[in-house]
Structure 1
Amino acid sequence: DGLGLVSYCLVIYYQNFKSYNAGMITALMNRVGDVMLLISITWMFNYGSWNYIYYLDILKNDLNMEIIGLLVMIAAMTKSAQIPFSSWLPAAMAAPTPVSALVHSSTLVTAGVYLLIRFNLILNENLCLFLLLIGVLTMFMAGLGANFEFDLKKIIALSTLSQLGLMMSILAIGSYKLAFFHLLTHAMFKALLFMCAGCMIHNLKDTQDIRFMGNLMMHMPLTCICFNISNLALCGMPFLAGFYSKDLILEYMSLGYVNILIYVLFFFSTGLTVSYSFRLCYYSITGDYNFFSFHSLNDNGWIMLKGMIFMLMFVIFSGSMLSWLIFPTPMMICLPLKMKMLTLLVCILGAWIGYELSKFNFNWISMSMNFYNYSYFWGSMWMLPYLSTYFINYYPLKMSYDLYKNFDQGWNEYLGSQGLYQNLKESSKFFQFIQNNNLKIYFMLTIFWLFTLMLFMML
């Protein structure tokens, strides 16, 4: 996995313990997916060929083919950070922001989605239902976490996680073209979001906390315009890139026959997307300037602005162009007016919730310890980072260290090579001592036996 290796090397670019731990979590989680891919490749030897397309129609319901599909799906879940492998993506934000703009928005994290798009024929009904549940739960968890997060890069990372869950969900329903369409449009506006976030962080002297930002529109107008437009594309603003794919996905979900719980969670997670986007704009773009008053801000010159404005053109126009390319004929979706307006209603409610969440502070509304515990639980991705850190990394590494100290460097060494060497060494020293002191030993033995004989004769 060359991309995983490059990602690991880029995550540990800054030489500190936070980057090392993030790189270790990223590498170990992605190695799980690599192992699953290798097992699925070897399992295909049961059919004598890797060209599964030719024998898929006959053997789609075969047990071996189901196992291969499950292995490929687990590999895709690790690559695209789905539950329970979600914690490595926010941790990988320890990498430099240009790395995040490329690797953690459009290439590495979408590898799992692209893998399932290529292998979409292998997935049967049971695997698709399981994938749909995992994708919707990932959307819901990431949306909740982003609404209670204050780190700018982690908010964008959780936004990426939410959109990956959206792609997985629509892929599980069966529309892989829609998943690929959203993959392309998401890459446009998410890369622009990371570029704008990097400019803001650089201007604020590497401060990533959005509570220290505010009123950046007055100081960095061009950067904030790009940031706002990419945020609106993420929310699904009409005629931007995200609208063409996201609105079509929501209408396709309304058209399909899915569980009501899945349906409610899907639309609620879409509202959470709008919520954290408006919360992010509230903290960073509007309000009062909360950083040091003597520190001046400005747009970072034309070196960054050229790339950002170039990406902005794609954010505005790529949705319509790609929809003409990917779908040669328009999809006819006939829905009642209530379902058509449901998407707009969810977006308006999400914007209102984001505004209300933005006013939460520790002075008045969250004096209750219960609310603090709830916000901490939701903001920590349902404790997944702790579970993945302690139960996947810390405890196995500690057990392996104890085994290494007690067995490999302990009894094994004592009874094995080092112990045998030490015993032979001590024995040879003892025999060498006897060899070198033969005369003394014989003399002492003679005196001892003479003394014993004299005592015996006196008795």
Structure 2
Amino acid sequence: MLWGLKMNVISMVFLAMVALSGLSVSLFLLLSGNSFFIEWEIVTLNSSYLGMSLIIDWVSMMFLAFVSFISSMVLFYSGSYMASDPNINRFMYLVLGFVLSMGLLIISPNMISILLGWDGLGLVSYALVIYYQNEKSANAGMLTALSNRVGDVCILLSIALMFSLGGWNFIFYVGSEAMGAQLGLVAFIVVAAMTKSAQIPFSAWLPAAMAAPTPVSALVHSSTLVTAGVYLLIRFSPALEGTSEQSCLLLLASLTMFMAGLGANFETDLKKIIALSTLSQLGVMMTILAMGWAELAFFHLLAHALFKALLFMCAGSIIHSVGDYQDIRVMGCTVSFMPLSVASVNLANLALCGTPFLAGFYSKDLILEVAFSSPLNEVCFWLLVVATGLTVCYTFRLVFYSLVSDFNLSAESGVSDDNPVMTWPMLLLGGGSVFGGAALAWLIFPAPYMICLPSSMKLLALLVSGAGALLGYLLNIMSVNYSLKSLRYYSLVVFSGSMWFLPLISTRGVSLSILKVGKFYSGVGDMGWSEFYGGQGAYSTLIKSSNYLQVAQDNSVKIYMISLVMWLVALMVFMEG
């Protein structure tokens, strides 16, 4: 136990040093405009070459710095949150393996090494989701693993298609016509990114993954795993331009954003509300990425990582204090007992809503104005507008239920936030949520953008946010009447609150039928006819043939006499005929 508690400090210091080094290198590369491609030859044997490629540019270094910083905060926070866990050592090693896999994916310009990081994320995420060993965690872990396997298969197929390009270092081919001409390659990359970033129809696994410990959720939903798909598409964005896959991605990302915002307004589990909030923001990133603005998507990716990690840490602190309840209806009035945690939650929520001059404002406002000035179709435009309002609506609902409503906890609850191991990371990430957006805006976009829009368009984001806040407050301040009235539209409420039945379809629908087909094929095909006529059948045929040849080559007189008699008989039959 003591080693586990010391280990979180050692890991935090190491990752903080990596973050500082990565940020320094990133700033140098950003200001100088340089990037480095490093290829390391591991072994060459009989003209077969095995090497490792690395890409060192400002994008990879800055993202690596953010991942390392948030991971260091999460590991330090875990020293208190997981202190009573007898397996804290295993937990720390798993989180470090998770960070290592993400780092490998970030600095890889090669599809083979990306697959190593991609599969490493999938494997470690499964181990972390089933960390609390119960049936719910096992089901959630299986759903997460099987959903991500679709993306793994797509990466494997894209590796096979890239073979014809002459190499797997996609960084050299991503802007060329050869990659666009390779049929299906971009589609496989897009599907792989959609599975990892949980876009429709692969969205069911993301709320289910909340079965993992809360520090893991803070790491997964801010800078690792779910952002891997967005990062991959940022790298492949030149190949995506002007393709039919770009239009499909735009529509599906807009639908995902709307569906997640709608579902969060009907959810009562605190962690799942924040998970659906992550899903909504991933939809925002994918939407602007599908419009061709990869740098904007990367900007929002980094800004979102800061306040989302803070939001999950505050949620974990509240859950930890209120007796491990996660239902927001049994919380309430925590502002009187946990002022620091509640202030941090409000700060993160305001940044999420795009409140001026916080981290989310700089990226979110720019994304909305660029989208409004782009040739966007009307369906995606209104989905984007309504989803923005829904974000503010569920945020105010969350604040009302868990922070300022009547005290609903039991009398024995000891609610406080006097643990410095859990509060210091909140303060540091709170600073990032306030100043991070402005700093990133000055670094990534040093020249100011001049976006000219009509006054109605300029004010639309503000009006929609205000309407969402008012709706969220009014609907929940009269929650008793609202709950009774919602029973009249029970089917619509269930449909909206269940992510459009995607969890049911993903488990008992598609997945169950696919697994049945897989079992049938495995029994009849793989271990049946293909085995009979394939490996084992060919082996037995070759053994029999070799036995006949062996007998014929033994120079036996009997064999020659029999052969001679048979030849003479055949000749006589032929002569008589």
TM-score, with structure 2 as normaliser:
0.68
Higher deviation after alignment, 231-240 or 322-331: 322-331
Higher deviation after alignment, 78-87 or 104-113: 104-113
Mapped contact 1:366–1:372 kept (Cα < 8 A): no
Q: Distance in 2 between matches of 1:58 and 1:158?
A: 37
Q: Distance in 1 between matches of 2:240 and 2:522?
A: 42
* Equivalent position to 2:199, from 66, 82, 97: 82
Identical aligned pairs, as a percentage? 57
Q: Partner of 1:422 in structure 2?
A: none
SS at match of 2:226: coil
Deviation, structure 1 residue 35 = 0.8
RMSD: 2.3
Distance 1:182 1:408, change over 3 A: closer
1:187 paired with 2:305, answer: yes
Deviation, structure 1 residue 179 = 0.3
Q: Distance in 1 between matches of 2:517 and 2:179?
A: 41
Q: Distance in 2 between matches of 1:380 and 1:331?
A: 40
1:348-388 CA deviation, whole Å, 9 max, x = no partner?
Answer: 00101211332464666535644222111111000000000
Mapped contact 1:217–1:286 kept (Cα < 8 A): yes
Mapped contact 2:369–2:458 kept (Cα < 8 A): yes
* Equivalent position to 2:369, from 251, 258, 267: 251
Distance 1:335 1:296, change over 3 A: same
1:149 paired with 2:243, answer: no
Deviation, structure 1 residue 75 = 0.4
What aligned pairs does 1:88-103 form with structure 2 within 5 A after superposition? 88-103=205-220
What aligned pairs does 1:358-437 form with structure 2 within 5 A after superposition? 358-359=476-477, 361=479, 365-367=483-485, 369-398=487-516
Equivalences, count? 412
* Equivalent position to 1:295, from 392, 408, 413: 413
Distance 1:58 1:22, change over 3 A: closer
Q: Partner of 1:113 in structure 2?
A: 230
Q: Distance in 2 between matches of 1:407 and 1:119?
A: 37
What aligned pairs does 1:46-445 form with structure 2 within 5 A after superposition? 46-52=164-170, 54=172, 59=177, 62-64=180-182, 66-125=183-242, 126-359=244-477, 361=479, 365-367=483-485, 369-398=487-516
Deviation, structure 1 residue 50 = 3.0
Mapped contact 2:323–2:413 kept (Cα < 8 A): no
Mapped contact 2:165–2:179 kept (Cα < 8 A): no
SS at match of 2:223: helix
Q: Distance in 1 between matches of 2:273 and 2:386?
A: 18
Mapped contact 1:76–1:113 kept (Cα < 8 A): yes
- Residue type of the alignment partner of 1:115: L
Q: Distance in 1 between matches of 2:371 and 2:435?
A: 25
- Residue type of the alignment partner of 1:70: A
Gaps of 5+ in 2: 1-118, 531-577
Q: Distance in 2 between matches of 1:235 and 1:317?
A: 16
Higher deviation after alignment, 230-239 or 334-343: 334-343
Q: Which has the higher contact order (CA 8 A, sep 6+)?
A: 1
Which of these two proteins has the greater Rg computed from alpha carbons?
A: 1
1:144-180 CA deviation, whole Å, 9 max, x = no partner?
Answer: 0000000000000000000000000000111111000
Q: Distance in 1 between matches of 2:257 and 2:189?
A: 21
Gaps of 5+ in 1: 413-459
TM-score, with structure 1 as normaliser:
0.85
